[in-house]
Amino acid sequence: EREWPRPDRCRIITIANQKGGVGKTTSSVNLAASLAMHGAQVLVVDLDPQGNASTALGVEHHAEIPSIYDVLIEDMALADIVVAAPEIPNLYCAPATLNLAGAEIELVSKVARESRLRRALDAYDTDKFDYVLIDCPPSLGLLTVNALVGGDELLIPIQCEYYALEGLGQLIRTVDLVKAHLNQKLWVSTILLTMYDARTRLAAQVAEDVRSHFGDVVLNTVIPRSVRVSEAPSYGQSVMTYDPGSSGALAYSEAASEMAHGGARK
Ligand code: ADP
Ligand code: MG
């Protein structure tokens, strides 16, 4: 594959939306895979107790595996949990295991509870990576707050359906609070429209609303609904290797290319 330009410094991108099933994990995994396939060094941090990103990258995440839980709660170093994703060179994963579900509560009584991921990233040599993508759980709890404090950029996947914009206000308010008190650098750099069904007028309407509301941070590329995208994780693969010629893989590759070439800002 042709190489894309690599950023001067590691871009740490949090992928969040407190709604479930909008394509956070699918986007994390497939954007990461695309970037890695075009020469970037990429780390996916799985911050969802379900461990779906770990699964989709073919990375083991049963209870005994050292995981992001140990980093957040037991002060383990990221270097001790990061593993290579088996399918794709240059792609790495910090896996999540089910005990992460308890971290939401356990974090409450920890010192600097909102900044534990940031501290772990600071202590880690992230500059060996071009991109760190942080996949969030579907909530605005302390795990997502850790991801917002740990990241420099926020990517919001939005599913093209009726209630898409509802609830985004809550996310944006949380982002503003984090910016004011915990991470000045944070900004919404990228919005990605997912699961687009070209046959419905509704999808087109939602896409238009999102573009008029958020302007040029919305990537030009829209991810279509594609069965191949939803099949890939059960084979422990991204759609980029599972079916590289599928519409979903091509779209994720286009979206990743936009991000690598400066996103919709250019
Ligand atoms: P989230 O992480 O936001 O909860 P997921 O990425 O897990 O959302 O996606 C939710 C479900 O939708 C999953 O079963 C996934 O395989 C499926 N899915 C995601 N994107 C697409 C797509 N473009 N086409 C078809 N199915 C998709
Ligand atoms: Mg998910």
What pLDDT shows up at residue 264?
46
Please answer whether residues 148 and 16 qualify as being in contact, where contact means their C-beta atoms are separated by less than 8 angstroms.
yes
With bands split at pLDDT 50, 70 and 90, how would you rate the model's confidence at 166? confident
Check pocket membership of 248 for ligand 1, CB cut-off 6 A.
yes
Percentage of the chain beyond pLDDT 70 is 98
φ, ψ at 134 (rounded to 5°): -110, 115
Domain harbouring 64, CATH code: 3.40.50.300
In 10 A of CB 12, how many CB atoms?
Answer: 23
Cα 23 to middle of ligand 1, angstroms: 4
Percentage of the chain beyond pLDDT 90 is 92
Nearest-angstrom CA–CA distance, 14 and 249? 21
Domain ranges, residue 223: 11-265
| Lowest pLDDT segment from 32-46, 162-176, 188-202, 215-229 | 162-176
Q: Is 134 a member of any domain?
A: yes
Q: Which ipTM score applies to this complex?
A: 0.99
What pLDDT shows up at residue 164?
83
What pLDDT shows up at residue 266?
35
Check pocket membership of 161 for ligand 1, CB cut-off 6 A.
no
Looking at the CA of residue 17, tell me the nearest atom of ligand 1: 3
- For a ligand 1 pocket test, name from 22, 230, 252 the mutation site with the most ligand atoms within 8 angstroms of its C-beta: 230
Give the global pTM.
0.97
Q: Is 1 a member of any domain?
A: no
Q: Considering the chain, what is the average pLDDT of its residues?
A: 95
Q: Spell 238-255 as b/e; 16+ CB within 10 A means b.
A: bbbbbbeebbbbbbbbbb
With bands split at pLDDT 50, 70 and 90, how would you rate the model's confidence at 265? very low
User: Which residue minimizes the CA distance to atom 15 of ligand 1?
Assistant: 230
Q: Is 167 a member of any domain?
A: yes
Model confidence at 47: pLDDT above 70: yes
What pLDDT shows up at residue 57?
97
Q: Is 6 a member of any domain?
A: no
Model confidence at 263: pLDDT above 60: no
Sign of the Cα torsion 250, 253, 258, 264 reads: positive
φ, ψ at 59 (rounded to 5°): -100, 130
- Provide the number of structural domains found in the chain: 1
User: Which residue minimizes the CA distance to atom 18 of ligand 1?
Assistant: 230
* pLDDT digit string, tens, across residues 104-132: 999 999 999 999 999 999 999 899 999 99
